Every structure is written in structure tokens, then in C-alpha cells.
């Protein structure tokens, strides 16, 4: 049985308001863990509240999880509940709040992630980056088409233009991924 050690931090950066939020849920024996990060989208009224709604949805999904249910089913419920809660908030406030969502659910030797937008799951092993999720941004599409390099993506004008998000009128287009877990003596290894 695995036991996970977690830490979290958030920084406001250069903005007037921190639009990020996160949740960490771990069962009593430490064998199951849900990590959720929501990054409210700047330029949309109420995006900090949208990120909080995702954290609220994570708490609800965690408390209702069924023994033996697949991790992917839990993450599907998280995406659905998050989107429903943000859309309801938008309809009540006549808003357009949106947020990214990235979550990683670990149980024993299983790991499944979901992401919507440009928040990422990174996997490291032997001190090296093994894999990261692919951003749902126009800049990432430019990289995939060979128009810009991976290094140019961070400063590209289309980096903040997302093709899917939680709270959008079109609804999210989540991407799920099963991760292979590695056992290694290096403390620098793991999933972020």
C-alpha cells in the first residue's frame, strides 16, 4: 500500500487578486489522495469564485466517492460537478466566470489525472521530466503544428487563449490520463 506526502502553496503573482485555489483530500490510512488545482481565468468576472467552486466540487465528490469506483469515474464526476456549479453561479450572477482544472487521483499503485485548460500535471522520475499534460491553448496548437517551439509557447500571445475551460458556455472537453507510477529512491521523483 502506498502512502503519499503532499504540500501545497499559492502565490498571487503580479495580479490584484489571487484567482487560484486548490484542494488536497487524503483518506485516513494515506493510501488514497485527490489533488485538485483550479486557476480562475483572468479577464472573466468572478473567476476567483469559479476556482473556489471547483474546490467545493472536489470536497463533494471526495465525500461521495464509492468504494471500488474507478478513479476515472471519480474525476468525471469532479469535472461534471465543477462545471455545473460554475455555470449555475454564472447564470445567477449573469457572469462569465471560467477556470482551468487539473486533478490527480491516486490510490495504491493507480494514478489517473484530468485536465481542462492549461494547468498541468508533471511526472518526474530519476530526476528527469518524464511527461506533462498537453495544454488546451491556442499556443499549444501552434507548437503541435510546428509553427512555434515549446520554449516560445510561454511568451506567445495565444498562450492565455484557451480552447476549453470549466464554466464556458460550450462546456469542458476534459483529457484523462492514466499514469505509470515508478518506485525510486530519489526524493525528486513523483507526480506534480
The model's pLDDT over 58-75, given as tens digits with 9 standing for 90+, comes to: 999 999 998 888 999 999
In this structure, the number of other CB atoms found within 10 A of the CB of residue 36 comes to: 27
Q: Which helix (H) or strand (E) holds 52?
A: helix 47-64
Among 23-27, 71-75, 113-117, 120-124, whose mean pLDDT is lowest? Answer: 120-124
Residue 19 in grid coordinates? 484567482
Residue 177 has pLDDT above 90, yes or no: yes
Measured CA to CA, the distance from residue 86 to residue 172 in angstroms comes to 11
Give the residue from 133, 146, 144, 130 showing the smallest Cα distance to 177: 133
Give the residue from 109, 115, 53 showing the smallest Cα distance to 85: 53
Helix (H, G, I), strand (E, B) or coil at 153: helix
pTM for the model? 0.85
Amino acid at each position: 500500500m502506498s502512502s503519499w506526502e503532499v504540500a501545497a502553496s499559492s502565490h498571487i503573482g503580479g495580479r490584484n487578486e489571487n484567482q487560484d485555489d486548490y484542494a488536497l483530500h487524503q483518506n485516513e490510512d494515506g493510501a488514497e489522495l485527490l489533488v485538485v488545482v483550479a486557476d480562475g481565468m483572468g479577464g472573466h468576472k468572478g473567476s476567483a469564485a469559479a476556482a473556489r467552486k471547483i474546490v467545493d466540487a472536489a470536497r463533494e465528490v471526495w465525500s461521495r466517492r464509492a468504494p471500488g469506483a474507478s478513479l476515472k469515474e471519480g474525476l468525471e464526476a469532479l469535472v461534471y460537478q465543477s462545471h455545473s456549479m460554475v455555470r449555475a453561479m454564472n447564470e445567477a450572477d449573469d457572469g462569465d466566470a471560467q477556470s482551468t482544472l487539473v486533478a490527480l487521483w491516486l490510490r495504491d499503485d493507480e494514478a489517473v489525472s484530468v485536465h481542462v485548460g492549461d494547468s498541468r500535471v508533471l511526472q518526474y522520475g530519476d530526476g528527469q521530466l518524464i511527461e506533462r499534460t498537453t495544454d488546451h491553448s491556442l499556443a499549444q496548437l501552434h507548437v503541435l503544428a510546428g509553427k512555434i517551439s515549446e520554449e516560445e509557447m510561454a511568451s506567445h500571445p495565444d498562450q492565455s487563449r484557451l480552447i476549453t475551460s470549466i464554466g464556458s458556455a460550450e462546456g469542458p472537453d476534459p483529457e484523462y490520463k492514466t499514469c505509470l507510477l515508478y518506485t525510486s529512491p530519489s526524493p525528486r521523483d513523483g507526480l506534480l
